[in-house]
Structure formats: structure tokens, C-alpha cells
């Protein structure tokens, strides 16, 4: 008998109460065990969370950045108490690297942004970590270099400049921002050497725990116990007050470099720090290779509780750690070792080719290694962040250029099987059984740096992209460095049929499908598991549940579809005219419904030297610098039940080309012969404005071929999406009259 029990609609029709069923497991006709399974056969609505066996899908993605040297990077993302999210990283403008902190809503729309820079330092500025403070503000740490003058620019154009006392070449910037992103205080911490921030946490007594590393032994680092046997990097931990003052501090390290990567609170209220060490003087334990993993547990007074090392014959680094409720720890690791704690039998997926792979270690409360597993393939696989999800499982994010082993979906993009990196996501149980894996990106390098779980149990990731295709759109590329900050929200689409055969150990998990579930799972150690499908649930050969664990069966599964998202696109017409020092833009979305109350609009200012005032559907810009350069903005238009419309536009000043600076309101529009178009369609567009004598009408476009034009009408063909056309009255040799352009952005019906 292959099937233990099949739960179907016909079965449930005869059940009117919740029952306890005795299920006899039968294999090859022989009784092997008696299991008690609690089956909830209820007619009420089943409150379901996301299916752990479902593949993830991209709900939305956003690129944020400026078109400038050195590129832009997304580093960390954290939840905010108001249901929004706070991010940190770096942006580059006109060759200057800047620290960037941004607040975005659940759709990825920018709510505010704070930029910190020094116009005398081109490189070396980067936001590293950010958390919400107990008062609703935010604590951010960042890397700065050779600081001479700091400028804090927030979304309301509040520019605070100060001349701080820099301690050394690299210093740690810690700053408090209020709920609107405005600076309340900041401190530069460090010594005369190299001082770098890593993580920041709140303590149980409402102070701040700061993790970094240092080569210094003076100024703020003095009396920390720095190992001065050589010019080496030591771990530096400081407890800081809510005013930014150091309460206590301590160094941990040996005779060589000891670099921390993460710090988390453990279930007993202490702190665990993980990283990599190549010290060999026994400060952490015996050294097994070029670089070993270390784990340190400390209390709030910075006293060491235990220290451990793990390693192999080459380079091993622990990049992230999470604390389990039972006191155990899971460490996310990058390693290219082949021996000791990283021994593996070589095969085609994991050959001994000295490339890095991802490993997960599970440690007990005393730091002893309990379990480990390798993930990735024969290329390079990197891990940057690891979280514990609400259902008791693990999700990690990183990058990969492998195309085998654990990596199974990189061929979805033509030409993607190259040496470039994709974002790599994986969900596992705490016993390291794979639940799902996913790669994201395009045909250029993409990296995943951070991931959080939202209140609706979906995921938002932050990283950096160089791509323009595949999963990526909207990259603000520059010829010097095309990197953009990349935010992605992942949802769990409803799968039709699920076949699952994994070990579910001490977990709280939902598995749901629209049609059927076929399970040979092994459920143990007081797990709580729920199967939900609309037609049938089969418990097949190999299924097992230990006494003390609970299984719930429900014949109300999920529903396939796109959750009511229309295939009709939002499209936008934009009117503009000159204003003193800048321009005025008025945005008119249509689906074809043009009722403005149905739409939400937001503007991201891609150049903080330009003043932006946005209200309703109107943007007014003013250039505050003397060079009158073009400045770019990102418009996002949202409507419930529709995919977001996102477009990058630009503003300028009219003075530089002799145009009038106070033109009347532009009330003209462009009338189209159809509401929607497909690739290859021809269209007729008519401008409704008036020309002055001898003036011509110019038509500008993207992905449109001009077929003919006559007076105020043009005929064209759409070659690809996105596409746009713009009607603009022409200029004369001797002067430029008020013109007022109208732009129409087309999107494809899906």
C-alpha cells in the first residue's frame, strides 16, 4: 500500500466534527507503527500563511540610484514600526560617494531620503547598518574617510554642515536620525588607524551596542585592550549611550587580522559575534587553515562567555548568525576549504576546485558544532545575510555564478549562464533541508546583501545590480559604473500541485496548494504542520509523524491567479512648462480612467542639488547650482489592482537656452487613436495646442518609428516597450518662445 490516507472532498462531506484519527502506516503490506495524527477537518475559513514549498515570485522591483561614477549600492534593510522599511547604502553624485538612508513603503515607493557626504572626499563613504530606535527615530552607522566637512541633506532640503574632528584615515560615523530622516546628533569614533563599523543593536537597557574592527590603539580605541603585537585588525565592541557617548568598550583579537561580520542577540539576552580570523596565537583556539571562522559570546558588560573556532585548510568566513528560540545558533558561512569542518566528497556539483560555497552550521548553546551542510554549485557562491522566518525556518541571501548543484533556475535568462553573478536566495529548515531556492537578476552582475520578512510573511531583499534585463528594469546606469540599489519584494504564488518529501524538525509550517498535496514528509520534535489543498491531500509511502507533533489537514487551499492584478497598464501623459530657475510638470495617469483620486504618485529626487516640490500630481523644480545641468527624477504611479507605472524623467532650467522663464499653464494634450497598443502597432497622435506663425511642431520619441507627420498630427509605429512620444513646439533662430511640451508614455497590455 503506497498511500497512508487520501483526504478528498468526498471524504470531508461526511465529517461534521473535528476527529482524532488513528492512522496505521503500512509498507509492503506490513504494519510498522501506530501514529496519532490530529486532523482538523473544519468548515470555517482557514487562516493560512505562505506555503513553504511554493516557489517565490517577484511582486515588485525597484532600482534606485544616480547616473554617476562609482555606482550605487544597497547594503541593509530593516523594518520600521509604522509598517514601512528603512534602507542604507551609498549613492554617487558627480563623482562623490555619499551615505544614503531611505525610507520606503510597502510598494517600494520612496518616502524620504537623507544623504551624507563630504565634497572634499571623493570615495570611502558608505552606509553599513541602520535600526529603528526606541523613540521611533533611527540609529545609523557608516564608513567615512578623511572627513573635513560633513553635509546632511534630508528630503526637506535641510542641509546641516559641520566640521568634525576626524580621528584617522577611516572613522566610524554613528548618527541619530529622527522619524523624518533629519539629523539629531552624530559622532565620529575611532583612532589614528583604520576603524570600520559592522553592526548596531539596541541593548536591554536602551543603550546602543556597536560592533566594528580597528587597527587603532588611541583616541576612542584607547583602553580597549587592543592587541598591539602587529599592525593587525581586532574586533571592537562599544556600548554607547542614546547621546552617542561611549559607556564601555573592548577589543577581541589575536596577533593577526580578526574581522567580524555580524552580531545578534541570543535567546539568553547575551550577544554572539561571528567572523573570520587568521590569528594563530591561540586567542580564539587552534588555527586550521589560512582563515578560520570564529564565534564569540559576550554579555552586555562585554565579558567573554565562550570563544570557538571552526575551519578547514583554506579560507572560511562566517558572514551572518541567527539565534534560535531553543538557544541554538545557525551561522551562514562562505568557504573554499576542503577539510576538517568543511570536508566534502568531491563530485560534479562540488568539485575540489577551490571556489567558495555557502555552508550553514548549527551550534548548540555552548557553541559546539551540531550539524552542517553545503549549498551552491561548482562556481562561486556567496552568503551575505541570514534571517529566521516566522515559521521557524531560515532564509539566506547572497550571490552566485554557479549553474548546478543547489542552483537550478539560472537558465531562465538567455545568455545568463556566464561568469556574472545573480542574487541567490534559499529557504531551508533548521535541519538544513531545502524548502526552495531562487536566483534573481539579469545578464550582468547582481548581488544580494540583505533580506527581511514582512508582516504579511513575504520577503523584501536589498542589493546591487548592474543589469538591464531579466528581472531588472529601471537601472540608472552611468558609463563609468552601472550599479544601482535594487529592492525586490517576493511573494508566494499559489502552486497547483505540491510533492513534498523533507524532514520537518521542530518547525511551525504551512504547505498549501490549489489542487493537491502529495507528502512523504518526516515530521518530528514537536513540529506543527498544516497541509491545505482544495481537492486532495495524499500521505504517501515514507510519511511519518512522531508523537508530540501535530498535523492539521484542511481542504481549503490557495487560489491560483494574479490576485486581481489587471493586465491593463497604467499610462501617463505629462505636461511641462518653464518656471523661473526650473520647470513645472503635471502628470495625468490613465487606464483609461483618469480620475486622479484613484492614483497614488511619488517622486524620487535623483539629484539633491535640485529643489523638488511635489504635491498631488504636480512637480516644481528649481536648480540651486550655477551650472544649470539636467537633473533626473523617478516617478512612480500606483493604483489598486494595477501594476505600478515607473518612469525616469529629467528637469532643466530654461534660462540657459534663452527660453522665457514664466510661461503660462500648458493645457494642451495629445489625443491618440486607441487606448492601448502592442509591439508593431501603428498609431495616430494629434497635439491640441496652438502654434504661432511659422512655428513647427517637433515630435521626440523612444522606441517609436516616425512614419509621417502633417501639421499637428503624426503617424508612428511602436517598436518595443517602454515607449514614449513627446510633442514640443519648435524654436526660432533668434529666440525660443514659450512652448510647453506634452509627453505620452506607453506600456504594454499583458
Give the pLDDT of residue 643. 79
Q: Does residue 271 contact residue 206 with C-beta atoms inside 8 Å? A: no
SS3 call for 705: strand
Q: What is the pLDDT of residues 556-606, one digit of tens each?
A: 777 654 445 677 889 999 998 887 777 888 999 998 888 888 888 888 777
Q: Does 730 lie in the same domain as 673?
A: yes
Q: What is the mean pLDDT of residues 211-237?
A: 93
Q: Does 621 lie in the same domain as 544?
A: no
**Cell numbers that stand for 652 in this block:** 532643466
In a domain, 470, yes or no: no
In the predicted structure, residue 358 carries a pLDDT above the cut 70: yes
Q: What is the pLDDT of residues 380-415, one digit of tens each?
A: 999 999 999 877 889 999 999 998 998 877 765 666
Q: Does 278 lie in the same domain as 310?
A: yes
> What element of type H or E holds 140?
strand 138-145
Last residue of a domain, one of 350, 375, 400: 375
Give the pLDDT of residue 319. 98
Of the two residues 433 and 155, the one the predictor is more confident about is 433
Distance CA 445, CA 464 (A): 8
For Cα atoms 411, 412, 416, give the angle at the middle one, nearest 5 degrees.
Answer: 55
Distance CA 440, CA 411 (A): 11
What's the pTM? Answer: 0.68
Q: What is the mean pLDDT of residues 101-120?
A: 90
Last residue of a domain, one of 375, 407, 432: 375
Q: Does 499 lie in the same domain as 370?
A: no
Q: What is the mean pLDDT of residues 163-182?
A: 92
**Tally of structural domains, the chain:** 3
pLDDT range class, residue 28, cuts 50, 70, 90: very low
Of the two residues 81 and 31, the one the predictor is more confident about is 81
- Three-state SS string over 354-367 comes to CCCEEEEEEECCCC
pLDDT range class, residue 13, cuts 50, 70, 90: very low
Q: Does 521 lie in the same domain as 610?
A: no
Q: Does residue 241 contact residue 133 with C-beta atoms inside 8 Å? A: no
Give the pLDDT of residue 26. 25
Give the residue from 516, 510, 513 showing the smallest Cα distance to 537.
516
SS3 call for 12: helix
Q: Does 539 lie in the same domain as 580?
A: no
In a domain, 82, yes or no: no
SS3 call for 678: coil
Give the pLDDT of residue 410. 74
Give the pLDDT of residue 530. 82
User: Which residue has 554607547 as its cell numbers?
Assistant: 240
Q: What is the mean pLDDT of residues 640-658?
A: 74
Of the two residues 36 and 94, the one the predictor is more confident about is 94
In a domain, 624, yes or no: yes
Q: Does 677 lie in the same domain as 575?
A: yes
Last residue of a domain, one of 354, 375, 396: 375
Q: Does 505 lie in the same domain as 618?
A: no
Give the pLDDT of residue 56. 67
In the predicted structure, residue 626 carries a pLDDT above the cut 60: no
Q: Does 724 lie in the same domain as 643?
A: yes
Q: Does 582 lie in the same domain as 730?
A: yes
pLDDT range class, residue 36, cuts 50, 70, 90: very low
In the predicted structure, residue 699 carries a pLDDT above the cut 90: yes
Give backbone dihedrals phi and psi of 322, rounded to 5 degrees, phi first. Answer: -130, 150
> What element of type H or E holds 749?
none
Distance CA 97, CA 625 (A): 19
Task: For residue 192, give every residue at least 6 positions away whose Cβ sits within 8 Å of its Cβ, in sequence order, or none.
Answer: 167, 168, 216, 218, 219
Give backbone dihedrals phi and psi of 447, rounded to 5 degrees, phi first. Answer: -130, 145
Q: Which domain holds residue 357?
A: 253-375
In a domain, 708, yes or no: yes
Q: Does 534 lie in the same domain as 505?
A: yes
In a domain, 139, yes or no: no
Q: Does residue 316 contact residue 340 with C-beta atoms inside 8 Å? A: no
**Cell numbers that stand for 463 in this block:** 542589493
Q: With left for phi above 0 and alpha for psi between -120 and 50, is residue 627 left, alpha or beta? A: alpha
Q: What is the mean pLDDT of residues 436-451?
A: 92
Q: Does residue 621 contact residue 635 with C-beta atoms inside 8 Å? A: no
pLDDT range class, residue 303, cuts 50, 70, 90: very high
pLDDT range class, residue 638, cuts 50, 70, 90: confident
Q: Does 630 lie in the same domain as 544?
A: no
pLDDT range class, residue 658, cuts 50, 70, 90: low
pLDDT range class, residue 65, cuts 50, 70, 90: confident
Beta strands 484-491 and 57-64, pairing class: antiparallel
Task: Write down the mean pLDDT value for the chain.
Answer: 84
- Percent of the chain scoring above 90 in pLDDT: 47
In a domain, 207, yes or no: no
Distance CA 304, CA 298 (A): 4
Distance CA 105, CA 255 (A): 46
Of the two residues 506 and 505, the one the predictor is more confident about is 505
In a domain, 298, yes or no: yes
Give the pLDDT of residue 309. 96
In a domain, 400, yes or no: no
In the predicted structure, residue 6 carries a pLDDT above the cut 80: no
User: Which residue has 480620475 as its cell numbers?
Assistant: 595
Amino acid at each position: 500500500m503506497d498511500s497512508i490516507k487520501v483526504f478528498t472532498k468526498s471524504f470531508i462531506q461526511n465529517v461534521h466534527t473535528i476527529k482524532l484519527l488513528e492512522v496505521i502506516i503500512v509498507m509492503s503490506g506490513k504494519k510498522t507503527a501506530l501514529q496519532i495524527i490530529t486532523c482538523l477537518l473544519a468548515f470555517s475559513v482557514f487562516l493560512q500563511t505562505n506555503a513553504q514549498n511554493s516557489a517565490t515570485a517577484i511582486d515588485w522591483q525597484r532600482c534606485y540610484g544616480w547616473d554617476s561614477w562609482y555606482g550605487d549600492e544597497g547594503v541593509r534593510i530593516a523594518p520600521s514600526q509604522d509598517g514601512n522599511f528603512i534602507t542604507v547604502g551609498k549613492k554617487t553624485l558627480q563623482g562623490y560617494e555619499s551615505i544614503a538612508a531611505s525610507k520606503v513603503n510597502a510598494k517600494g515607493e520612496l518616502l524620504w531620503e537623507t544623504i551624507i557626504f563630504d565634497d572634499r572626499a571623493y570615495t570611502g563613504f558608505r552606509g553599513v547598518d541602520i535600526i529603528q530606535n526606541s523613540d521611533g527615530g533611527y540609529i545609523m552607522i557608516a564608513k567615512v574617510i578623511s572627513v573635513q566637512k560633513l553635509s546632511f541633506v534630508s528630503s526637506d532640503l535641510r542641509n546641516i554642515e559641520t566640521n568634525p574632528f576626524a580621528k584617522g584615515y577611516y572613522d566610524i560615523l554613528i548618527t541619530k536620525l529622527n522619524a523624518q530622516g533629519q539629523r539629531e546628533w552624530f559622532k565620529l569614533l575611532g583612532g589614528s588607524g583604520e576603524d570600520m563599523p559592522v553592526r548596531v543593536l539596541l541593548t536591554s537597557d536602551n543603550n546602543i551596542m556597536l560592533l566594528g574592527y580597528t587597527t587603532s590603539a588611541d583616541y576612542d580605541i584607547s583602553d580597549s585592550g587592543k592587541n598591539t603585537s602587529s599592525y593587525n585588525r581586532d574586533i571592537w565592541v562599544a556600548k554607547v549611550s542614546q547621546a552617542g557617548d561611549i559607556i564601555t568598550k573592548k577589543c577581541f583579537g589575536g596577533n593577526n587580522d580578526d574581522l567580524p561580520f555580524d552580531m545578534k542577540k541570543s535567546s539568553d539576552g547575551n550577544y554572539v559575534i561571528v567572523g573570520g580570523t587568521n590569528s594563530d596565537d591561540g586567542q580564539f583556539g587552534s588555527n586550521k587553515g589560512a582563515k578560520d571562522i570564529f564565534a564569540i559570546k559576550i554579555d552586555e558588560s562585554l565579558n567573554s562567555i565562550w570563544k570557538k573556532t571552526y575551519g578547514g585548510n583554506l579560507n572560511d568566513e562566517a558572514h551572518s548568525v541567527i539565534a534560535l528560540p531553543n538557544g541554538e545558533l545557525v551561522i551562514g558561512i562562505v568557504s573554499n576549504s576542503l577539510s576538517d569542518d568543511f570536508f566534502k566528497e568531491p563530485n560534479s556539483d562540488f568539485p575540489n576546485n577551490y571556489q567558495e560555497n555557502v555552508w550553514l552550521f548549527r551550534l548548540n548553546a555552548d557553541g559546539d558544532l551540531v550539524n552542517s551542510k553545503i549549498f551552491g554549485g561548482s562556481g562561486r557562491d556567496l552568503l551575505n545575510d541570514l534571517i529566521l522566518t516566522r515559521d521557524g525556518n531560515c532564509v539566506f541571501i547572497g550571490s552566485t555564478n554557479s549553474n548546478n548543484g543547489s542552483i537550478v533556475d539560472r537558465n531562465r535568462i538567455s545568455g545568463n549562464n556566464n561568469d556574472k553573478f545573480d542574487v541567490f536566495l534559499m529557504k531551508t529548515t533548521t535541519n538544513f533541508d531545502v524548502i526552495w531556492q531562487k536566483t534573481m537578476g539579469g545578464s550582468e552582475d547582481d548581488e544580494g546583501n540583505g533580506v527581511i520578512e514582512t508582516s504579511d510573511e513575504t520577503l523584501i531583499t536589498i542589493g546591487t545590480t548592474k543589469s538591464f534585463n531579466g528581472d531588472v528594469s529601471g537601472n540608472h546606469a552611468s558609463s563609468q559604473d552601472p550599479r544601482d540599489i535594487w529592492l525586490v519584494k517576493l511573494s508566494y504564488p499559489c502552486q497547483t500541485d505540491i510533492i513534498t518529501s523533507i524532514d520537518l524538525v521542530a518547525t511551525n509550517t504551512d504547505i498549501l496548494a490549489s489542487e493537491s498535496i502529495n507528502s512523504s514528509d518526516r515530521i518530528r520534535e514537536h513540529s506543527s504542520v498544516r497541509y491545505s489543498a482544495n481537492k486532495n491531500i495524499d500521505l504517501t509511502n515514507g510519511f511519518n509523524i512522531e508523537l508530540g507533533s501535530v498535523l492539521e489537514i484542511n481542504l481549503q487551499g490557495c487560489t491560483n491567479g494574479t490576485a486581481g492584478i489587471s493586465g491593463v497598464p497604467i499610462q501617463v501623459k505629462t505636461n511641462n512648462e518653464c518656471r523661473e530657475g526650473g520647470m513645472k510638470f503635471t502628470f495625468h495617469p490613465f487606464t483609461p480612467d483618469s480620475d486622479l483620486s484613484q492614483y497614488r504618485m511619488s517622486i524620487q529626487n535623483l539629484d539633491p542639488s535640485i529643489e523638488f516640490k511635489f504635491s498631488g500630481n504636480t512637480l516644481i523644480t528649481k536648480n540651486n547650482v550655477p551650472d544649470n545641468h539636467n537633473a533626473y527624477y523617478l516617478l512612480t504611479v500606483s493604483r489598486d489592482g494595477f501594476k505600478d507605472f515607473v518612469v525616469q524623467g529629467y528637469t532643466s532650467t530654461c534660462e540657459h537656452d534663452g527660453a522665457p522663464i514664466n510661461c503660462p499653464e500648458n493645457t494642451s494634450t495629445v489625443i491618440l487613436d486607441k487606448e492601448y497598443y502592442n509591439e508593431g502597432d501603428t498609431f495616430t497622435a494629434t497635439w491640441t495646442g496652438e502654434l504661432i506663425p511659422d512655428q513647427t511642431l517637433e515630435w521626440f520619441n523612444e522606441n517609436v518609428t516616425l512614419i509621417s507627420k502633417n501639421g499637428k498630427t503624426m503617424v508612428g509605429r511602436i517598436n518595443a516597450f517602454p515607449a514614449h512620444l513627446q510633442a514640443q513646439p519648435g524654436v526660432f533662430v533668434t529666440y525660443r518662445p514659450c512652448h510647453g511640451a506634452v509627453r505620452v508614455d506607453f506600456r504594454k497590455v499583458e
